[in-house]
Structure 1
């Protein structure tokens, strides 16, 4: 009898503990005993442990099973195959009419449809938590908020269940959350250690902030580079919530932040002023009331940015809703010392819980107002679009079918209407061909997103940016585009299909593949992986093919049938298979004697090296940049890349690799012997692909000898007021802006490009002079390079004198220096080819 009795005693003690905890989060509240609290379900008080994501999902599954007021949806999966879930909570009546409610909300957001009566429409509230995995309090708050909304017997909870439909996304970044939760739980002390130096509060690289590929998903609502964001934005457009939250954590010595953000300086240029001047202040009063009740300190109207469209708190602002960012001081573990005493995990959770409740109350009280605003937002968008002198934007790259498809699909994913271009036309000095270009009218509900995709902005109310100051997505995709008031739109595009190319029949002397298409490198790698020998033609030429005479640019791939280990039949079958898979056009020739230009056996034709790529990662390395590279090769091109931690570099046999990628970061941990090994490897023919600050380190170690740009007579004031420090120093940074580069189209770095000018993205203030070797600066900037975003006058002067890419010879090897960001946020499809050329053609670049 002792064991059951002990069990009863422990159960009773835990019930008391759980009750005390509920009193901490919800003082004085009464709850439906049929609904278990998170503490009762998990077996520990919320705040005692960092809850694993699978347990959060299981708790939501339990709520779904227990009540007809809850419904759990799986909308997709992460890279690591964790489910992306959303819990819907509403009254039984509303739950039974969920699809009708959704359709009515979509009707409200469509100005072409009659406006429904909003008096009886429930408010659509989306509570989003945990986009940064190591800001864990919000996911715990999600469970408590769901419990309160379903089980509380208060008048407010009853009113919310009857008059709102609440969608709860407990964690936008499940992969990152579990990485951090494992760290915090496995390093927890008993008793917990509050010392900020303790291991628990200092994660190992890369930390839990980012997703599987080390991307910051709070920047991905616009680029849609990852499945977590793709399914979330797809879901968003199925509902158009009136209010969307985005809960975060900040420094331990901070207090709490809620919107409004910094007036004018941090605002998005396409969002109506009503959002900032009226709606934000309305909601802020509720947040202040709830925080005052628990005595938590808070602040508003400072620092945090609301301009970049890819934030979870800004994207809703561009879609007729209210996006709200919240930031709480972080315990970065279970308890940590701060200037105000120890910050506990439970304290940070409570801050987010009360603001979750405040958000719902504010949305409820402003239900009809926010519905009217949703309609007004899209009505005014159509009206403004009709008045826009651009009338249309036309875009298309006649040489790159795949990149065209990617951009059209991207626009469709954001619900922008796209039409076929029915006739050849010229706009802004650029030619756009029928069948290879598309038209986007400004007169459409998504006009403000159209501006986001095609407008360059260079004038700002502020000179200090929390994040990127430019985001013209047509430039990111490298799309030729222009305003086209007289364009004639044809059929609307509803889906994007890969083209079909007939494979040449019969025997061939050689096969040719133009390198211009975005996925040509993927085709090349798969050919090499299949054991097929591939060469590259380094000068332009013309050949007689199955389609007659065809002009081929430098960089064209050539597969000679006389130099293959496989039989001719096996080679042809494999090429046909891979061409269909990658939507690549293959040409057959019957002779090596070309119609013009060099012949196929020229000394200017050489084998393409099979990439064996090593990338340095680990402490000191920019994880976002390394992740961009890993994701590009892994997800887009199916190319494995060996990632080696810096502390393991001494164990690496570099001669097993032909390319070494050094992302931005500090390499001071490498010993003198390791640096000498690196010098020996590159001198023997290796290729280093160096990003930004890594190039400065290579200079310091005398592996390269490039020079920084300096301005004559550049002087700063001798003294300035102390309170101007952040603004003055912040204005010197190049936080993220777009420039027009000048490409040497004859250089291998530019293989696949047909236009001399290319938009590039820069987010560094490292400015390096062109190479002393007049042939080795293949990418410079134009005379007037600034396209969009903020840059100071001094930095712009330096930029005009600097290089975008420099090649440094080093013995028999070379270093390819990138000073821009060719793979930025998985969105810069227009410059990816530059980086891939460094991998495939690096041995020909010097």
Structure 2
């Protein structure tokens, strides 16, 4: 049957009858409303549709129909519009603000409306968060047309009882990258051979956004404009049902929730969500897909524990997030073990699920509304059962990092208050479950095999020193972070200026000054100086700008210092003497000039694009520093002497011995190689450095192996993977890579199995896992005892006159690890100052 249906799709010819392959059931259609085929000039499924055409079509629907209106909620990094098409009856649309007010009353625990069945249900159909999973955006066009143009009584009923928000392309930059590829290599006739270029995108592929971020992990972290725009919209509307459409391997079929039982448990989620609601909706999806002969599966894979998915974040807002996964044609037609899978076939399944979602939501709207109401009321009830009344946090030395954390709390509508010199987040608030997500840690789970992370306590991402409190003293409520960091006006000096290096933005200020040809030095020992702001004690790494040593006059230097301070809001001071009240003087040999980084990073085949994108994003958006991205295919013709720093993120580096020697010779000249994750393992394996990996003794070949059921192999083997865990580490605060830190203990994020042995050089292990390192997440006893407790997180190894900075863990994970970014940035800016003793 499945093969037959796939073959049916091959007859797709672009005629109106061929389009009926999708929506014949919903005739008649208003002839005044253009179909997607009429607007685009080709039938859905014949080509991949560009995002600008998708937006244009939805805009057209809003122009010609009283059922629809369009709203732009943001723009991508590349400037593409992010839009939502709202569809309902003309009467509902005219009365939308009043309906919205009634709808939001159900999310307010202080109110208790009971008209559950009288207010239209709010449904958000979200598509194409992964750009190279394109079938869903095409389905979005069909769904929009059906809802706007169909005069079928079934559709009219849905519109009367719902407000439908269609977000056609959550990741336009990635989609257009893939669309260009698929259409470029589309053959005529179509080529079904899986080896054809059409089915094999080049690095970095279209899954991710401009900076190669996976936007389906960004709902919680809110790093990218696509996510921040969507979150702002989301918290204005709080839809009851949200879809999250994806694609998976071509050899599969179709997936809808419920997810696997042992991966559905969320410590803070009501069971009613992932048991009752999922099962209720699954009955609708199974019947709809049965009716067209599509095969599917449920309960086997995927988890909804990580709160940053498009299918899990809505669950934390009293809604129902629904995940769909369609076997991908990876182009227009491809051979599989089941026959040939075509693009139109994949689109139809997504379209059917879209319409069915609306049907299920409308027919259960009273239940869904009551559930959302109880969800927010139970937030207050649950918080009252805990002895914890709130969480207090502060950092006297790094206001910009605190600002970034508060900004993240406010993005999720979490209430924050000033309390003396600290900030307090009370637990008694509608967003109590989001408060738990930000601060609570867990180390006990029903299962260990996660589709993504097993740890996500966001406060640890920011290295935020926080504590649970049992009593509250709330002060002023924080509404915005716009004027959060205030700096005293910098006074002019003819001698020197000092910038406090403890601040997160100090490195951005350093880069700004270097880009403007200002010579800056770093203090390798603390000191106390008499400054324009009084007597100030400066930590390791304080930036010193001597006025007389610049090629610019004192007025120009002062103007640039003020620009740096105002742009990045960093603590800066003027001094009139180099004589310190305590510690080293400004002319000390421990105050060393900083070389301007000339940085490059290897990208392309074999390189993990996520990590490369995180480096690029960090430098672009926060430091405003350029980095040259060198494709692996150009390796042989690159003159690395143009650069003094090279970054290699995780990946599979298939470099020849000649190429390996090229890197080693370059490092030996005095340059800095920074490796992350498996790139560090590569450097050790290839003897680029004299460090070692942790290894365990192999089992005796005569030892009897306990027999286990074959069917359990994937789960048991998966337990040994490190799916994302937060560990505590110990820093050497005197090392240049740790400059700017005040505490020896900080959290790090580990999502790999790279275990580096502490260096045999007693000065080279910069960061080591602490004695009891687990903060949050799951790790097996075997991994903990045999690897974790014996290994180091960050080691520096000498190579000739240069050095290799080996990160076992990723300091820039998903653009959100403010707490460890400093380690990586120090490697960029201070790497050449590390003189590893023999």
TM-score (norm 1): 0.95
User: 2:733 matched to 1:748?
Assistant: no
**Residue 810 of structure 1 pairs with residue 796 of structure 2:** no
Shift of residue 554, structure 1, vs aligned partner: 0.9
Aligned Cα RMSD in Å? Answer: 1.5
Partner of 2:616: 630
Residue by residue, what CA displacement relative to the aligned partner does 1:377-436 show, whole Å, maximum 9, x if unpaired? 0000111112221111001111100011111111000000001113xxxxxxxxxxx2xx
| Equivalent residue, structure 1, for 2:783 | 795
For 2:428, what is the secondary structure of its paired residue? coil
Counterpart for residue 822 of structure 1: 811
Q: Does 1:151 align with 2:149?
A: yes
Asked if 1:692 is matched to 2:677, the reply is: yes
CA contact 1:532–1:571 (8 Å) conserved in 2? yes
| 1:349, distance to aligned residue in structure 2 (A) | 0.2
C-alpha separation between the residues in 1 aligned to 2:490 and 2:59? 55
Q: CA deviation at 1:29?
A: 2.8
Give the aligned partner of residue 493 of structure 1.
478
Deviation at 1:676, TM superposition (A): 2.1
The yes-or-no answer on 1:484 pairing with 2:469 is yes
1:839 correspondence with 2:828:
yes
Q: Does 1:703 align with 2:688?
A: yes
Decide whether the 8 Å contact of 2:565 with 2:571 is kept in 1: yes
Q: Who is 1:776 aligned against?
A: 764
CA positional deviation for 1:104: 1.8
8 Å contact from structure 2 (residues 302, 450) kept in 1: no
> Which digits, 9 at most, give the CA deviation of each residue in 1:714-769, with x for residues without a partner?
68935432111101110110010100010011111111100110010000111111
Q: Separation in 1 of the partners of 2:801 and 2:687?
A: 16
Instruction: Supply the distance in 1 between the matched residues of 2:635 and 2:597 (Cα, whole angstroms).
Output: 19
Q: Kindly report which structure 2 residues correspond to 1:600-619, keeping only aligned pairs within 5 A, or say none.
A: 600-619=586-605
1:668-687 equivalence runs, <5 A: 668=654, 670-687=655-672
Does residue 136 in structure 1 map to residue 154 in structure 2? Answer: no
1:472 counterpart residue number: 457
Match of 1:728 in 2: 716
| Shift in Å, 1:24 | 4.2
Q: Helix, strand or coil: the match of 1:753?
A: coil
Cα distance in structure 1, aligned partners of 2:231 and 2:705: 47
Aligned to 1:86: 84
Aligned residue for 2:237, secondary structure, equals coil
Deviation at 1:521, TM superposition (A): 0.3
Are 1:113 and 2:78 an aligned pair?
Answer: no
After superposition, residues 87-106 of structure 1 pair within 5 angstroms as: 87-106=85-104
Could you say what secondary structure the match of 1:522 adopts? helix
Tell me: CA distance 1:16–1:231, structure 2 relative to 1, closer, same or farther (3 Å).
Answer: closer
- C-alpha distance in 1 between matches for 2:14 and 2:628: 52
Q: 1:618 to 1:506 in 2, by over 3 A?
A: closer
CA-CA distance at 1:594 after TM superposition: 0.9
| Correspondent of 1:323 among 321, 324, 342 | 321
The list of structure 1 runs, each at least 4 consecutive aligned residues, that deviate by more than 4 angstroms after superposition, is: 13-16, 712-716
User: Given the superposition, is the C-alpha separation of residues 822 and 380 from structure 1 closer, same or farther in structure 2, using an over 3 Å criterion?
Assistant: same
- From the superposition, tell whether residues 58 and 278 of structure 1 become closer, same or farther in structure 2 (CA, over 3 Å): same
What are the Cα deviations for residues 675-695 of structure 1, in whole angstroms up to 9, with x where unaligned?
222111100101000011112
Structure 2 contact 23–146 (Cα < 8 Å) conserved: no
**Which of these residues, 285, 289, 292, is aligned with residue 287 of structure 1?**
285
Alignment partner of 2:569 out of 562, 583, 589: 583
Q: How far has the Cα of 1:287 moved from its partner? A: 0.2
Paired residues, number = 820
User: Residue 500 of structure 1 contacts residue 580 of structure 1 at CA under 8 Å; is this kept in 2?
Assistant: no
SS at 1:539 equivalent: coil
Is contact 1:15–1:40 with CA below 8 Å preserved after alignment? Answer: no
- 3-state DSSP of counterpart to 1:125: strand
CA distance in structure 2 between the aligned counterparts of 1:718 and 1:21, rounded to whole angstroms: 57
Alpha-carbon distance between aligned partners in 1 of 2:218 and 2:77, rounded to the nearest angstrom: 14
The offset of 1:168, in angstroms, is: 0.2
Offset at residue 276 of structure 1 (A): 1.6
Q: CA deviation at 1:32?
A: 1.5
Query: 1:487 and 1:814 mapped to 2: Cα distance?
Result: 50
Cα distance in 2 for partners of 1:363, 1:792 equals: 41
Distance in 1 (CA, whole Å) between partners of 2:676 and 2:200 is 26
Partner of residue 429, structure 2: 444
CA distance in 2, matches of 1:351, 1:655: 54
User: In the superposition, relative to structure 1, how do residues 253 and 445 fare at CA in structure 2: closer, same or farther (>3 Å)?
Assistant: same
CA distance in structure 1 between the partners assigned to 2:658 and 2:58 by the alignment: 55
Partners of 1:547 and 1:150 in 2: CA distance: 64
Aligned to 1:426: none
For residue 6 of structure 2, what is the aligned residue in structure 1? none
Distance 1:807 1:53, change over 3 A: same
TM-score of the two chains, using structure 2 as the length reference: 0.96
SS at match of 1:284: helix
CA shift digits 1:220-265 (9 cap, x unpaired): 0000010000000110101110100000001111010000111142
Name the stretch that deviates more: 26-35 or 204-213. Answer: 26-35
Match of 1:307 in 2: 305
CA shift, 1:509, in A, is 1.6
Q: Which residue of 1 aligns with 2:3?
A: none
Structure 1: state its 5+ residue gaps.
Answer: 1-12, 423-433
Given the superposition, is the C-alpha separation of residues 42 and 421 from structure 1 closer, same or farther in structure 2, using an over 3 Å criterion?
same
The answer to whether 1:459 aligns with 2:444 is: yes
Matched residues in 1 for 2:182 and 2:484: separation? 46
Unaligned runs of 5+ in 2: 1-10
The SS at the match of 1:764 is: coil
